[in-house]
């Protein structure tokens, strides 16, 4: 009986851990639109044609799927890739950080994969 209890507990803990740490994934999509505004400083807001799947509980804002801070060299490089992909209609995959640390209700962008 104790073994069954331990196995059941492990399954519950592992499934909760997986669910809590799943970052938003927008696979095989294109950039629908992007926005920057002087009121938001170096932040770029991104909407994908196919909504992201998963993501953190903090990502409650429906207008944008991801936010990118261009205040670093890497952020500027990622922004250049996004602008090019948007202009060409390139299919890509975006992955978030599972955090809303750049904007309180939008997942922060972590990865861009060009397909």
Residue 21: which pLDDT band, with cuts at 50, 70 and 90?
Answer: low
Query: Residue for token digits 């670093």?
Result: 72
Average pLDDT, the chain: 87
CB 92 within 8 A of CB 113: yes
The pLDDT of residue 22: 83
Question: Using CB atoms within 10 A of its CB, is residue 49 exposed (0-12), middle (13-18) or buried (19+)?
Answer: middle
**Residue 111: in which H helix or E strand, if any?**
strand 107-114
| Single pTM value for the model | 0.80
Q: Where are the domains of the chain?
A: 2-114
Residues 6+ apart with CB under 8 A from 37: none
Residues 6+ apart with CB under 8 A from 101: 108
Q: Which CATH number fits domain 2-114: 2.60.40, 2.115.10, 3.40.50, 2.40.50?
A: 2.40.50
């Amino acid at each position: 009986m104790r073994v069954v209890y331990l196995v059941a507990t492990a399954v519950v803990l592992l499934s909760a851990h997986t669910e809590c740490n799943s970052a938003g994934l927008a696979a095989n999509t294109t950039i629908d639109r992007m926005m920057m505004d002087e009121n938001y400083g170096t932040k770029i807001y991104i909407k994908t044609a196919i909504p992201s799947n998963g993501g953190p509980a903090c990502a409650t804002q429906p207008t944008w799927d991801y936010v990118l801070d261009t205040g670093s060299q890497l952020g500027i490089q990622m922004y250049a890739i996004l602008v090019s992909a948007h202009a060409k209609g390139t299919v890509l995959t975006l992955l978030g950080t599972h955090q809303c640390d750049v904007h309180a209700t939008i997942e922060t962008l972590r990865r861009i994969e060009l397909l």
